[in-house]
Amino acid sequence: MRFWTRPKQDAARAKVMQVDRRWTEVFNDSVREAMRREQTPNFTKSLSASLSTTRSQPLTIRNSHSSKGQFRPSSMPSIPNPFPELCSPSHSPVRVGSLVGSTDDEDTHVVRVFGEDTHSRSVVVSSAATARDVCHILVESTHCTDEENWALLEQHPSLGLERCLEDHEVVSRVQSSWPQDGDTKLLFRKNYAKYEFFKKPAHYFPENMISDSTDVKTGMTPSQLVQSMLKCGSCPEIQGYLHVREPGKKSWKKLYYVLRRSGLYCSTKGSSKEPRHLQCVADLEDISVYTVANSRKLYSSPKGHTFCLKTSRGRFHSQELKLLCADSEQSKTCWVTAFRLFKYGKQLQCNYLLAQANPNLRIPPRANSKRADGDESMVAMDFSGKSGGRVILNPREAESAEQEEGYNWRKREALRYSLPNSSHGSRPPAVHQTQPWFHGGVSRSEAQQLLEEQGQADGLFLIRDSQLHAQCFVLSLCHQRKIKHYLLIPCEDGGRQYYTMDDGETLFIDLLQLVEFHQINRGILPVCLKHPCIRIAL
């Protein structure tokens, strides 16, 4: 028995030696010191206990420095992330509030917004931030004014889809429905037509498209139905023919549609609205309405007045989109606006009233700006009388005096630099080049696209260089959903240069004076200049 059991004991002892040699390489200094001092026959037992203790419990690191005047690692303040947009882009599911080391109790979200150029800006907002909140932050950071008409738009360039987010929509929820591998983005720009239908409902709802509800007859006229829809929340029916693209095909066919509070229906028999002839197409609570750009090229639509219906659960795929095409831009605008009103109801009116409560945001003063001594005591004065100057106490009169003084100053400067013997080398740049409504050398088609993107509201305008006539300018103006162009011609009178667009009957010393005049007086234009087409860089 001893003869064949001895090699087994030797093998076991060799295994113990191999284990000891392997594990002692990873022991720390304290364990090695304990092994050297250990001389008892129970060495293997104590070693296994030490191994189990070392592997199951973390090693405590003691601070050798004095605690006086020193900060321990556990008491060090957390370092904020200086680049949140790099660690948590808008299309990533990781949020800043869930990152390790974040001390904010409120969950935050990074929103990347693009301007009308290629530049973008990332802002950190709460996950419950609405589109109005994001616009408010961008307005303040870019020192813009007129907050009412700024909007946040959802854009899908590859599909040609675009829609204006409502002020109450939560931005994080909208972004969560986007495809991760898509080119979807948020756009920040003007949209003067966002609430224009509250001001001019007759321009947005033609009488031939408004009808009384078949369920409850009120006996009101179409204009009364529109007013009741905007004020009381009652919903008449929107009716008319639309071109629809058949699923899975490129062909289009024309059907009669009826829009009600319960949903969108199409008639299977002409323009009949009998229940047995109506087929439900979409539920308003489950869809979003997008306008389609370049629909003729992308989807072979019969006309360019195309919009799209997409369910909230559906994917952004061209085969799953419900494409509809109207016969005119006015008809398309009526359908899209009615979808918004029927879906959100009173919420749109609340958004409009909230925007009207504080339409303008003043540029906040700089933190490091200091007033000069005596600025707080400056007052408006009037020196036109014979008895000397008087203090202007009426605020409106003071504002009028300030505008008049600015006008007189521009007039003196324009006359001085328009003299024949004036030095052109020291002539300052033209005043219109610094105005937000001047867009330089954009083409006619680009100007029309800019005006269409910002809502085509009555009075929306811009001025650009003429591409056909040298030293001339063009005024592009929106009126009744159409864009008209007026040539501004320079002329000389008494050796001085002026601008005119009515063959010299009315002369203006510069383009700024021309714009300011037509903001108050219509002149030869169909409508006064009201909304400047503005583009900003984020």
Mean pLDDT computed over 477-495? 91
Q: Using one digit for the tens of pLDDT, what is the confidence trace for 274-316?
A: 989 999 998 888 889 999 998 999 999 999 899 999 887 766 7
Q: Phi/psi of residue 333, each to 5°?
A: -60, -40
Rounded distance between C-alpha atoms, residue 160 and residue 180, angstroms? 18
The answer to whether residue 308 sits within a structural domain is: yes
Mean pLDDT computed over 340-363? 76
More confident residue, 14 or 406: 406
**Residues 213, 321 within the same domain:** yes
Mean pLDDT computed over 51-64? 47
The answer to whether residue 378 sits within a structural domain is: no
Mean pLDDT computed over 177-182? 84
**Residues 206, 353 within the same domain:** yes
Domain stops at, among 331, 357, 383: 357
Quote the DSSP letter at residue 193. T
The answer to whether residue 385 sits within a structural domain is: no
Mean pLDDT computed over 312-337? 84
Structure tokens that stand for 346 in this block:
């009173």
In terms of average pLDDT, the best of 92-101, 215-224, 233-242 is: 233-242
| pLDDT on residue 431 | 82
The answer to whether residue 407 sits within a structural domain is: no
**Residues 436, 498 within the same domain:** yes
- pLDDT of residue 90 exceeding 60: no
Domain stops at, among 294, 327, 357: 357
**Residues 200, 334 within the same domain:** yes
- pLDDT of residue 58 exceeding 80: no
**Residues 170, 284 within the same domain:** no
**Residues 201, 280 within the same domain:** yes
- Report the residue count for the chain: 538
**Residues 435, 494 within the same domain:** yes
Q: Phi/psi of residue 4, each to 5°?
A: -100, -10
Rounded distance between C-alpha atoms, residue 179 and residue 318, angstroms? 13
**Residues 218, 135 within the same domain:** no
**Residues 473, 523 within the same domain:** yes
SS3 per-residue string spanning 309-370: EEECCCCCCHHHCEEEECCCHHHHHHHHHHHHHHHHCHHHHHHHHHHHHCCCCCCCCCCCCC
Specify the number of domains making up the chain.
3
| pLDDT on residue 314 | 64
CATH code for the domain of 207: 2.30.29.30
Specify the amino acid at residue 425: G
More confident residue, 527 or 424: 527
The answer to whether residue 295 sits within a structural domain is: yes
Specify the amino acid at residue 392: I
- Residue 484 contacts by C-beta under 8 Å, 6 or more apart in sequence? 476, 477, 478, 526
More confident residue, 530 or 382: 530
Mean pLDDT computed over 4-28? 44
**Residues 328, 468 within the same domain:** no
Structure tokens that stand for 297 in this block:
């090229």
Rounded distance between C-alpha atoms, residue 327 and residue 255, angstroms? 12
The answer to whether residue 417 sits within a structural domain is: no
| pLDDT on residue 21 | 44
Q: How confident is the model at residue 408 (pLDDT cuts 50, 70, 90)?
A: low
Mean pLDDT computed over 154-172? 93
**Residues 342, 448 within the same domain:** no
CATH code for the domain of 451: 3.30.505.10
- pLDDT of residue 113 exceeding 50: yes
- pLDDT of residue 194 exceeding 80: yes
| pLDDT on residue 307 | 95
Judged by DSSP in three states, 133 sits in helix
The answer to whether residue 150 sits within a structural domain is: yes
**Residues 226, 343 within the same domain:** yes
Judged by DSSP in three states, 162 sits in strand
Q: How confident is the model at residue 500 (pLDDT cuts 50, 70, 90)?
A: very high
Long-range CB contacts (< 8 A, 24+ apart) of 420-425? 420/495
Residue 315's domain comprises 196-357
Rounded distance between C-alpha atoms, residue 279 and residue 257, angstroms? 9
Cα–Cα distances in angstroms (integers) from residue 508 to residues 118, 163, 171, 435, 491, in the given order: 36, 40, 46, 16, 10
Mean pLDDT computed over 227-236? 66
Structure tokens that stand for 182 in this block:
């898509």
